[in-house]
């Protein structure tokens, strides 16, 4: 029993280091060219110690000749990420043309606060060979269907109430105006 | 000063600022429809997700419904008096014509009936007109702000400003004295 506990304790001490995982999410509904496309990054420290000098870089995914960065930065720096804590970062980019673009790696460098060991984590295992096809607006319109349908439904909800009140008022007004006119 | 009779109380209540139960019911049903309908537009056009936006939608719907009902009540109060003045002679003629052959009815009774009828007509007409006016103003401001003025704003802020904000503007305008 003591031996088992000793092994667990040893494993515990071996793993007692910062370990950062990175996640990249596409927040917008569809990737569309010449429109705002929102990306969200989550950095999670699943290790036992804090990660310091955490630097996230996603420059390769959004080359400036193909993308315009509208908000946020392609490089983000976090002074510290505590154990079991999460840090988030957002960017808004607008692709210049409609085209499929090969996803590049998100690279995160961080230093363990205790051992001062510098580590790197990427999204290679997830990205490899993945393309994001930024569609043009017309394609999205066909995909979503026309927004006119939503306006028609909205009108069907609101216009009857409003029009009915106007008609009833007009009817009442005409009724009493007629009496006045005849007498 | 003596105690008021039941008829006098009814007459007094018809002149008071408070709206009738039927009118209040109409106002709230109308306000509910007008506060929920834009959410469908935001769902479809601005692509807001139901699960993500439920709290914002609830806040928006409740605030908008309350403000629109308030605007309708205020508007009705303003319109009712004007309508009573306008419809008065016509209602008098209608009552006189209706009870012309009734010899048992005294002039005082006829006047009372005319007064009740005037209030009834004014109450109904002011309810309809206030709903029409409030709806038209609210829908114009809301659609203009949601799809033109604030079109580039984040959907959550766009929703809150264009629905609750428009309703607040309409409610504010309804507090005018004349």
pLDDT band at B42 (very low <50, low <70, confident <90, very high): very high
pLDDT of B85 higher than 90: no
The more confident residue out of A175 and B159 is B159
pLDDT of A34 reads: 87
> Which of A144, A157, A176 faces B37 most closely, judged by CB atoms?
A157
Residues A13 and A66 in one domain: yes
pLDDT of A178 reads: 55
Q: Which domain holds residue A118?
A: 2-144
pLDDT of B106 reads: 80
Report how many Cβ contacts below 8 Å link chain A to chain B: 70
pLDDT of A12 reads: 42
Q: Which residues of A, range 128-157, sit inside 8 Å of B by Cβ?
A: 144, 147, 149-151, 153-154, 157
Q: Nearest CA to CA, how far is A147 from chain B (Å)?
A: 6
> Which of A29, A166, A176 faces B121 most closely, judged by CB atoms?
A176
Condensed to tens digits (0 to 9), the pLDDT of residues A27-53 reads 888 888 888 899 999 999 999 999 999
Condensed to tens digits (0 to 9), the pLDDT of residues A130-164 reads 788 888 877 776 666 678 889 999 999 999 999 99
Residues A139 and A154 in one domain: no
Residues A161 and A150 in one domain: yes
Rounded distance between C-alpha atoms, residue B74 and residue A13, angstroms: 72
Residues A134 and A163 in one domain: no
Render the burial of A46-77: b for 16+ CB within 10 Å, e for the rest. ebbbbbbebebbbeebbeeeebeeeebebebe
Residues A125 and A154 in one domain: no
CATH code, domain carrying A53: 2.60.40.10
pLDDT of B143 reads: 95
State the total domains in chain A: 2
pLDDT of A86 reads: 94
pLDDT of B7 reads: 63
Phi and psi torsions of A55, nearest 5°: -125, 120
pLDDT of A115 higher than 50: yes
Residues A49 and A97 in one domain: yes
A153 interaction partners in chain B (CB closer than 8 Å): 40, 44
Residues A155 and A127 in one domain: no
B60, B160 Cβ separation under 8 angstroms: yes
Q: CA-nearest residue of chain B to A35?
A: B152
Cβ within 8 Å, pair A147-B44: yes
Residue A50 exposure: Cα atoms within 13 Å on the Cβ side: 8
**pTM of the predicted model, to two decimals?**
0.61
Task: Please provide the average confidence, as pLDDT, over all residues in chain B.
Answer: 87
Residues A164 and A128 in one domain: no
B128, A169 Cβ separation under 8 angstroms: yes
Least confident of A35-39, A113-117, A168-172, B92-96: B92-96
Residues A77 and A167 in one domain: no
Residues A64 and A103 in one domain: yes
pLDDT of B11 higher than 70: no
pLDDT band at B60 (very low <50, low <70, confident <90, very high): very high
Question: Helix or strand or coil: residue B151?
Answer: coil
> Which of B38, B45, B132 faces A165 most closely, judged by CB atoms?
B132
Least confident of A67-76, A117-126, A168-177: A117-126
Residues A70 and A156 in one domain: no
Q: Nearest CA to CA, how far is A86 from chain B (Å)?
A: 20
A157 interaction partners in chain B (CB closer than 8 Å): 33, 36-37, 40
């Amino acid at each position: 029993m003591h031996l088992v506990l000793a092994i667990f304790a040893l494993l515990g001490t071996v793993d007692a280091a910062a370990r950062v995982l990175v996640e990249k999410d596409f927040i917008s509904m569809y990737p569309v060219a010449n429109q705002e496309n929102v990306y969200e990054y989550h950095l999670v420290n699943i290790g036992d110690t804090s990660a310091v000098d955490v630097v996230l870089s996603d420059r390769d995914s959004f080359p400036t000749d193909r993308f315009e960065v509208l908000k946020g930065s392609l490089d983000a720096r976090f002074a510290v990420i505590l154990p079991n804590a999460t840090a988030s970062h957002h960017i808004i980019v607008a692709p210049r043309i409609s085209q499929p673009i090969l996803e590049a790696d998100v690279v995160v460098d961080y230093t363990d606060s205790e051992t001062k060991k510098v580590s790197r984590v990427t999204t290679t295992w997830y990205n490899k060979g993945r393309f994001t096809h930024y569609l043009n607006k017309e394609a999205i319109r066909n995909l979503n269907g026309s927004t006119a349908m939503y306006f028609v439904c909205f009108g069907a909800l609101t216009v009857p109430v409003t029009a009915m009140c106007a008609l009833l008022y007009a009817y009442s007004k005409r009724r009493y105006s007629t009496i006045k006119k005849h007498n | 000063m003596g105690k008021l009779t039941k008829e006098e109380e009814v007459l007094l209540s018809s002149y008071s600022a408070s709206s009738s139960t039927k009118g209040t019911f109409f106002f709230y049903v109308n306000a509910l429809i007008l506060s929920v309908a834009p959410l469908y537009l935001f769902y479809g056009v601005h692509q807001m997700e139901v699960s993500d936006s439920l709290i914002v939608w609830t806040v928006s719907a409740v605030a908008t419904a309350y403000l629109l009902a308030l605007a309708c009540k205020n508007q009705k109060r303003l319109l009712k008096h004007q309508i009573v003045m306008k419809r008065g002679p016509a209602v008098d003629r209608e009552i006189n014509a209706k009870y012309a052959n009734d010899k048992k009815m005294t002039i005082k009774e006829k006047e009372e009936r005319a007064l009740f009828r005037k209030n009834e007509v004014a109450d109904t007409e002011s309810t309809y007109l206030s709903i029409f006016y409030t709806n038209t103003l609210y829908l114009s401001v809301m659609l203009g702000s949601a799809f033109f003025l604030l079109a580039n704003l984040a959907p959550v802020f766009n929703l809150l400003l264009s629905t609750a904000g428009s309703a607040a503007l309409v409610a504010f305008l309804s507090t005018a004295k004349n």
